[in-house]
Amino acid sequence: MDWNSIDGCQIMERRFLLLFGSQTGQSQAVAEEIFEKALEHGFQPDLHNINETEKKFNIEKETLLVLVISSTGDGEPPDTALKFWRRIRKKTLGSDYLGNLRYTILGLGDSNYSNFCQNPKNFDLRFQQLGAQHFYSMGFADDAIGLEIVVEPWIDGLLSALTSQFSEKSENCSLDHAISDKNQQTDLKPQIDETDNVKDDNKQDNVANAITTVDLAIVSTEKELGDIKVVEKTIEVSSLVKSIPPIEGQIVVPALPHSFLEVHYSEDESIDLDSLCIQNGAALPSATTDIVMANIVNVSTLTRQDAVKTALEIQLEITESEMTFEPGDSFGIVCENSRDEVEELILKLSVTNVADSVCYLKLKEETRKKNAAIPPFLPTRTTIRHLLVTCCDIRTPIKKGFIRMLAEYTPNTLEKARLQELCSRQGSSQYTHFIREPNLSLLDILKAFPSCCPPIERILEHLPRLLPRPYSISSSPLVSRKHLNFVFNIVEIPSGSGRQYSRKGVCTGWLSSSQIDCNNKPKIPIYGRKNLSFHLPSDLSIPMILIGAGTGLAPFIGFMQHREAQVKHDQDLLCGPIWLFFGCRHNERDYLYRSELERFHEVGILSNISVSFSRDNSTSARYVQDNILLHSDSVCKLLLEKNAVIYVCGDARNMSKDVNNTIVTIISQHQGIAMEEAKSVTMKLRQEGRYLEDIWT
Ligand code: FAD
Ligand code: NAP
């Protein structure tokens, strides 16, 4: 309990513990937002990374907790939360271990994955088992539709709940009740839907609510044609730069975020940028190795020129002692932003003359930001260009606080007013529709609002970290431990919908621009990531059903190379059948690794290949799941009688869900059981590690 004794009275501090468990930094950013707002409302949040357990806080001694935590993979805790999770999971803890704790959790997840926000739900369950109770309902924010749709109203509700919580406590105090009565929970509801079980239907509703109805206005303009006046009527629609009709009434804009950074230039100094520690020691998500430099030794295009997407395969040379891998593992690429885009940004921000000078980042001494710190991913001695190329994510749709700051540096009154609308509470749906959904970058905004020119310091305060991108390894260490292959589609993002310029995906664009002369052996920074389950079964006789669309084929190539090498090494090995279901668009344009797959089939590594072409109209199966339906009997026999393992890799948004539904359907038909029962069978397969997914959006 946090009691201070003043003038003989006990005064309750308005302190609460605010924890974040973050994998990519989003939970941390949200927790920091809560921190700022809580301070503004007179609370005393004690903000910590959840991995600081026992160093900075002891959960059993706390009375009020707000936890912001994400879910990774299939509902697992972020790496940073593992220590805390293991601690509270101990079987020896009694049912009143957290009996004094009142708490709430804001979970961040992505409903494209089957176990949406499972990790926050697991924490909630465990807290309850240990005797803790809610003081405010949990929130579940969904990255698939925009975290802010839930986060913002949830924080508003949290502040009210904290106010009630503390007034309840001080009432209890004046009544000389030191221990709060757990049966009198406030459990205030935030002004959002109960999203405990976010279903797809819900998601659709949320999206529909988030999108503005397109506002129209008929605008009349008079033109003079000789002596005649002509009235032209045009229809204007709302857009990024204009709301039609303008948002009415007084708008509520967020408070201007406090500035906290200073940049000092030292133009006479020189700096060796290569020697700068990459991303300045910021933690790498899911890393199992340090960053190592890998040579690009080969780049090949796997698709024909007229394919819808261009797939490239890159071979990297690594030092065996620095990084080992198994088929099914992925690795992270520490990529760079487009140098052309950075150059444009530098021009727009009017920092061309200092962009390559050595600069020092310092905290503003007089900053009013509480707990201000230089973001750990920013080196403090560097250059502006280096920060923008390698450290900051310049693409992520800018947040409302960022827009609020930009409005402050926009002299044109119309532009300023529109920026204020876009970050206002009343402009929330417009923000979602015009900024978040089309994925507008900082440069898009600066181009659309040309008078806006903020100082670089303010920009660096708001840009999040440029995150590494993971890729599945598509080769086997039994073929070469020194080489690692991967395959990717170049992400092409056209201009339009507010985007002021066309662009490629950050990492795939960068990699494709390094389609350079491989004789020069260009190097890229990478690091190892382990997949805990998506591996070949240790018992080689177990049949495997491999299902992948597009580049989701990648890990399966590694699987087959591995199996071939194992068989070559020991020809008496008894291997179970492998059945591949692969889907692409056109037989002739994007059938990845076609000759390798045919060879694996010829030599008996692959027992069956079923390929679906979604845009050829030549086969009865359009998608992988259509082929599974066509072969439902054989698939079910392998799965239910021969204990096969299913592996699904590729798109999480649609394909993996449709495949799951198809497996449920064929089990239901084959076993003559109801769909609900077939769902339970499929769930059991997942629990037994016989239905494995490696999927991403
Ligand atoms: P980004 O710059 O991150 O851009 C992608 C984003 O752009 C999308 O999220 C989308 O929001 C947006 N976008 C795309 N198209 C449009 C559009 N038309 N309009 C508006 N916005 C748009 N990928 C592979 O190709 N091969 C792999 O083997 C592979 N393995 C993976 C393994 C794991 C474990 C994970 C988590 C992911 C894997 N991925 C793989 C995905 C990969 O990490 C990257 O996300 C992907 O390559 C895109 O990265 P990028 O930086 O080029 O694109
Ligand atoms: P893609 O372009 O998404 O599509 C490949 C094929 O899938 C196309 O023929 C497409 O058909 C079809 N398809 C579309 N909707 C489908 C559905 N509901 N069910 C089944 N098939 C469907 O492939 P890609 O660009 O290579 O991307 C695959 C995705 O997986 C990307 O998001 C990539 O980042 C990810 N990935 C993840 C991993 C991993 O997690 N380990 C590894 C590799 C790739 P139409 O277009 O004709 O509809």
Q: What is the pLDDT of residue 662?
A: 98
Q: What is the pLDDT of residue 25?
A: 79
The minimum-distance atom of ligand 1 relative to the CA of 508 is 52
- Mean pLDDT calculated for residue range 524-552: 94
* 476 vs 517, higher pLDDT: 476
* 177 vs 600, higher pLDDT: 600
- Mean pLDDT calculated for residue range 430-436: 92
Any ligand 1 atom below 6 A from CB of 464: no
Beta bridge partners of 106: 68, 139
Q: At what angle do helices 413-423 and 400-408 cross, to 10 degrees?
A: 160
Any ligand 2 atom below 6 A from CB of 624: yes
pLDDT higher than threshold 70 for residue 214: no
Any ligand 1 atom below 6 A from CB of 170: no
- Mean pLDDT calculated for residue range 520-538: 89
CATH topology of domain 544-696: Rossmann fold (3.40.50)
- Asked which of 120-129, 203-212, 665-674 is least confident by mean pLDDT, the reply is 203-212
Burial of residue 625 (number of CB atoms within 10 Å: 0-12, 13-18, 19+): buried
- CA gap 542, 631 in Å, rounded: 19
- CA gap 87, 82 in Å, rounded: 8
pLDDT higher than threshold 50 for residue 307: yes
Ligand 1 pocket: which of 441, 508, 529, 533 to mutate (most atoms within 8 A of CB): 508
For residue 122, report the distance from its CA to the centre of ligand 2, in Å.
30
For residue 307, report the distance from its CA to the centre of ligand 2, in Å.
14
Domain with CATH 2.40.30.10 in the chain: 282-335+468-532
The CATH superfamily label for domain 261-281+339-462 reads NADPH-cytochrome p450 Reductase; Chain A, domain 3 (1.20.990.10)
Atom 1, ligand 2: residue with shortest CA distance: 550
518: confidence class by pLDDT, cuts 50, 70, 90: low
Residue 555: other Cβ atoms inside 10 A: 28
- CA gap 396, 391 in Å, rounded: 13
228-272, pLDDT tens digit by residue?
666 666 666 789 998 887 787 788 888 899 999 999 999 888 887
275-291, pLDDT tens digit by residue?
665 655 567 777 888 89
Q: Considering every ligand atom, which ligand is closest to the CA of 649?
A: 2
Residues 6+ apart with CB under 8 A from 573: 540, 566, 567
92-114, pLDDT tens digit by residue?
999 999 999 999 999 998 887 77
- CA gap 371, 56 in Å, rounded: 15
Provide the b/e sequence for 67-85 (b: ≥16 CB within 10 Å).
bbbbbbbbbbbbbbbeebb
- Asked which of 33-42, 68-77, 89-98, 441-450 is least confident by mean pLDDT, the reply is 68-77
Ligand 1 pocket: which of 143, 696, 697 to mutate (most atoms within 8 A of CB): 696
CATH topology of domain 3-178: Rossmann fold (3.40.50)
Q: What is the pLDDT of residue 282?
A: 61
Domain with CATH 3.40.50.360 in the chain: 3-178
Q: Would strands 3-6 and 9-12 be described as parallel, antiparallel, or unpaired?
A: antiparallel
Highest mean pLDDT among 53-57, 308-312, 396-400, 653-657: 308-312
For residue 396, report the distance from its CA to the centre of ligand 1, in Å.
13
Ligand 2 pocket: which of 651, 656, 694, 695 to mutate (most atoms within 8 A of CB): 651
Domain with CATH 1.20.990.10 in the chain: 261-281+339-462
pLDDT higher than threshold 60 for residue 175: no
Beta bridge partners of 17: 46, 65
Mean of the per-residue pLDDT values for the chain? 86
Provide the b/e sequence for 262-300 (b: ≥16 CB within 10 Å).
bbeeeeeeebeeeebebbbebbbbbbebebbebbbeebe
Q: What is the pLDDT of residue 232?
A: 64
356-386, pLDDT tens digit by residue?
999 999 999 999 888 899 998 999 999 999 9
- C-alpha separations of 311 from 51, 223, 581 in Å: 39, 52, 19
Place of tokens 């049966």: 183
Ligand 2 pocket: which of 303, 551, 610, 647 to mutate (most atoms within 8 A of CB): 551
The minimum-distance atom of ligand 1 relative to the CA of 494 is 18
Cα 292 vs. chain centroid, distance in angstroms? Answer: 24
**Contact status, residue 117 vs residue 71, Cβ threshold 8 Å:** yes
Strand spans (E) along 390-457: none
- Mean pLDDT calculated for residue range 483-487: 97
Any ligand 2 atom below 6 A from CB of 109: no
**Contact status, residue 682 vs residue 635, Cβ threshold 8 Å:** no
CATH 2.40.30.10 fits 282-335+468-532, yes or no: yes
- Mean pLDDT calculated for residue range 399-405: 94
- Asked which of 138-152, 602-616, 670-684 is least confident by mean pLDDT, the reply is 138-152
Any ligand 1 atom below 6 A from CB of 244: no
Task: Report CA Rg, the chain.
Answer: 28
**What percent of the chain lies above the pLDDT cut of 70?**
86
The minimum-distance atom of ligand 2 relative to the CA of 650 is 30
545-589, pLDDT tens digit by residue?
999 999 999 999 999 999 999 999 988 889 999 999 999 999 999
Domain with CATH 3.40.50.80 in the chain: 544-696
For residue 258, report the distance from its CA to the centre of ligand 1, in Å.
33
Any ligand 2 atom below 6 A from CB of 358: no
**Contact status, residue 626 vs residue 620, Cβ threshold 8 Å:** yes
Q: What is the pLDDT of residue 111?
A: 82
- CA gap 117, 227 in Å, rounded: 68
pLDDT higher than threshold 60 for residue 188: no
Any ligand 2 atom below 6 A from CB of 67: no
Q: What is the pLDDT of residue 630?
A: 96
Atom 4, ligand 2: residue with shortest CA distance: 550
3-state secondary structure of 350: coil
